[in-house]
Amino acid sequence: MRSRAALLGIAVAAMAVWAGCRKDPAAEMPDPCAFPATPFQLDYHAFFPDPVIPADNPMTVEGIELGRRLYYDPLLSSSGPLAGKSCSSCHFQEHAFTVPDPGVPAIGNTNVMSHCNLAWATHFLWDGSAGPTLEDVMRYEVEEFFRLDVGVLRNHPEYPELFRKAFGTCEVTLPLVEKAMAQWFRRLTSANSKFDRFLKNEEALSPGEWRGFQLFFTEAGDCFHCHSMPLMTDNGFHNIGLDSVFAGQGVGRYAVTGNPMDLGAFKTPTLRNIALTAPYMHDGRFQTLEEVVDFYSAGAKHSPSLDPIMTKPGTGITLGMTAQQKADLVAFLHTLTDEAFVTDTALASPF
């Protein structure tokens, strides 16, 4: 018995060695779908925070290029109720990737937000109902907003090859569409305004811009608490006193949290390129920066959920700025325009 057991043991060992030496013919065949995508390094100032880039969706040249094409291609909506529309239908580069018209019926008359520096954002849309990552937002945009039929891309003469180069796979799937678009949105980086150059000691502000800068970043204007440097947004939600009664879309963040203290609170929009993104506020109620500054100076309304920051020393809610101060503040806001961002051909339509 002992000897049979020993032989059996030897046989098993021999088979294992043999199996280990076998070569898998399939393993020698190159993967016809593989492609070494080129890593892309996002360019931004050292004083910017670290962007939010998921480990499973690193930015690549090919992924960004695919996302760019999808952004500008009406094919994205061809099977849904928004047929004929692309992201770029409402997000024009010359307006920092927003639209100058107040409200778009498809999204319920809310003002279109700028696609600028979203690599640093964590909650999206005016009420923060999308997110927390850009991939999550793209899932909403692709599957619910545009209702993309991915078969349209699979059967397209060019897209499958673009997906192969971006992701090293012959598959075209909704998650890959969303990843490519998320990469593209992260690419939309604005960090070369006059104000940026001022911060780097490369360019001086005019006297009026300088006075506006002082107003912006002191209690006199008190803009900085919500529009904090360098992104010019705190990524937070605030009721700034636009209304005292809230209904419909005016409830803002409350629609997501159900917290009465979030009534009338909306996402802080970035002020980068703000001179190009009129109209203003979640409902586009203000047409000019002057109107916006007038509101902060004298028009805020009380409500129980009014953001504490809006209550000024002495419990008032108005800044009472002079005409000169308002003009200076507007002059400073114009220094946040990034001409390179709105003219960069790498961000323009590939079609």
Partner 1 sequence: MEYYLCNLVLKGAGGTADHLVAGPWYINGAWPNTFDLGVVPAGGYDGISVDLGLPPALNQTNALPPAMEHVNMAWPIPMGGGYHFMKFEGHFLLQGQPTGFAMHLGKDQNLVHCELSQPFTVGIDQGKLALVFNLNEVFRDPHTYDLSTGNQSMGSDSLMALLRDNCSNAFTFQFLP
Q: Which residues bind partner 1 (CB under 8 A)?
A: 46-50, 120, 122, 213-214, 217-219, 224-225, 228-231, 234-236, 261, 302, 304-315
Question: How is 263-320 classified by DSSP, letter by letter?
Answer: TTBEE----TTGGGS-SBSTT--B-SHHHHHHIIIII----TT--GGGSPTTS-----
Q: Shortest gap between Cβ of 189 and partner 1 (angstroms)?
A: 15
* Identity of the residue, 90 or 321, whose beta carbon is nearer to partner 1 in the bound complex: 321
Q: Shortest gap between Cβ of 261 and partner 1 (angstroms)?
A: 8
Q: Shortest gap between Cβ of 119 and partner 1 (angstroms)?
A: 12
What's the angle, vertex CA 332, arms to CA 237 and CA 109, rounded to 5? 40
* Identity of the residue, 71 or 216, whose beta carbon is nearer to partner 1 in the bound complex: 216
* Identity of the residue, 315 or 322, whose beta carbon is nearer to partner 1 in the bound complex: 315
* Identity of the residue, 307 or 338, whose beta carbon is nearer to partner 1 in the bound complex: 307
* Identity of the residue, 11 or 298, whose beta carbon is nearer to partner 1 in the bound complex: 298
* Identity of the residue, 174 or 261, whose beta carbon is nearer to partner 1 in the bound complex: 261
Q: Shortest gap between Cβ of 234 and partner 1 (angstroms)?
A: 5
What are the structure tokens assigned to 3, written together?
A: 């000897």
* Identity of the residue, 20 or 314, whose beta carbon is nearer to partner 1 in the bound complex: 314
CA distances 233 to 75, 191, 225, 244, 324, Å, are 33, 14, 9, 24, 25
Q: Shortest gap between Cβ of 198 and partner 1 (angstroms)?
A: 11
As a whole number of angstroms, the distance between CA 310 and CA 297 comes to 11
Helix, strand, coil shares, percent, the chain, to 5: 45, 5, 50
Question: How is 175-219 classified by DSSP, letter by letter?
Answer: HHHHHHHHHHHHH-----SHHHHHHTTSSPPPHHHHHHHHHHTST
Q: Shortest gap between Cβ of 222 and partner 1 (angstroms)?
A: 9
As a whole number of angstroms, the distance between CA 269 and CA 272 comes to 9
Q: Shortest gap between Cβ of 185 and partner 1 (angstroms)?
A: 17
As a whole number of angstroms, the distance between CA 17 and CA 11 comes to 10
As a whole number of angstroms, the distance between CA 223 and CA 311 comes to 13
